Amino acid sequence: MAAQVGVPVGVALAPVGRGDSRPIMLGDNTPQVAWSTIKVPLAVAAERQNGPSTAESNAIINSDNASAEALWSSLGSDAVAARKVTAVLREGGDTQSTVPAQRLRAGFTVFGQTVWTLPAAATFTAHLPCMPGTAHVVSLMGQVAGNQQWGIEVMSTPRSTAVKGGWGPGVDGSYLVRQIGLITFSDGRQTAVAMSAAGGSMSGGIAALNAIGNWLNRNAARLPRGAC
């Protein structure tokens, strides 16, 4: 990958659709926690059970943690909520990731500490628009606030983009910035992306993912594309 970013970065790419093709993985593939990117399958589970809500919109558009906690609580106990969100991951083709049922780090959400590899996240994102009851969540991902308008959001080539960002401090003193997203091209076909940067600060991570977004923009014609 010819993008010079100065910190460990990784990006996984997959064509949208329910096929069995494995994502293309470039760069760092160290398993990392999901942070707020896991709010996407959480929102899908909550909307299916309870219908659309203001909490859902705030959790995706603004990445509001209190709203996401409300969605989590609406699913039942921590154990029940973990099972329901994990079931959404399985439906999205992610056969490995499991949402924890207990708080693993004090001061952080239970669900945000889900270990979600980039290939698994890209696989889920590639299935997302093809799954029943996900259109509203995808539409919210297309309306994210300024705190998430980076990464593939800097691309000029696509007809549209839809993303969810996540960020937080690691236990080793590093800072992780992640993003999952959908790139829709003029022909209607889509590319699913999952990327991350692990560095010393949120601003440094965002700058790294913007560099990846610009690299994807320059290589848009080569990205794997598909449709439901």
pLDDT tens profile 23-53:
999 999 999 999 999 999 999 999 999 999 9
Does residue 1 register a pLDDT over 70? no
Q: How many CB atoms lie within 10 A of CB 108?
A: 15
| Helix (DSSP H) and strand (DSSP E) numbers for the chain | 7, 5
- Strand blocks (E) in 52-141: none
Where in the sequence is the domain holding 80, given as residue range(s)?
9-222
Within a domain: 1 = no
3-state SS assignment for residue 20: coil
Question: Could you tell me the CATH number of the domain that includes residue 185?
Answer: 3.40.710.10
Give all strands of the β-sheet with 190-199 in edge-to-edge order: 24-27, 9-15, 190-199, 175-184, 160-169
Average pLDDT over the chain, rounded to whole? 95
Q: β-strands 9-15, 24-27: how paired?
A: antiparallel
Q: What percent of the chain has pLDDT over 70?
A: 98
pTM strictly above 0.75: yes
Q: What is the pLDDT of residue 144?
A: 98
Q: Find residue 192's DSSP bridge partners.
A: 14, 182
Select the more confidently predicted residue: 182 or 170.
182
Is 4 a domain residue? no
Mean pLDDT of 114-143: 98
* Axis crossing angle, helix 39-50 with helix 78-91, rounded to the nearest 10: 100
Structural contact between residues 161 and 142, judged by C-beta atoms closer than 8 angstroms:
yes
Q: Is residue 3 part of a domain?
A: no
Q: How far apart are CA 153 and CA 160, in angstroms?
A: 9
Q: Is residue 25 part of a domain?
A: yes
Q: How many domains does the chain have?
A: 1
Classify residue 227: in a domain, yes or no: no
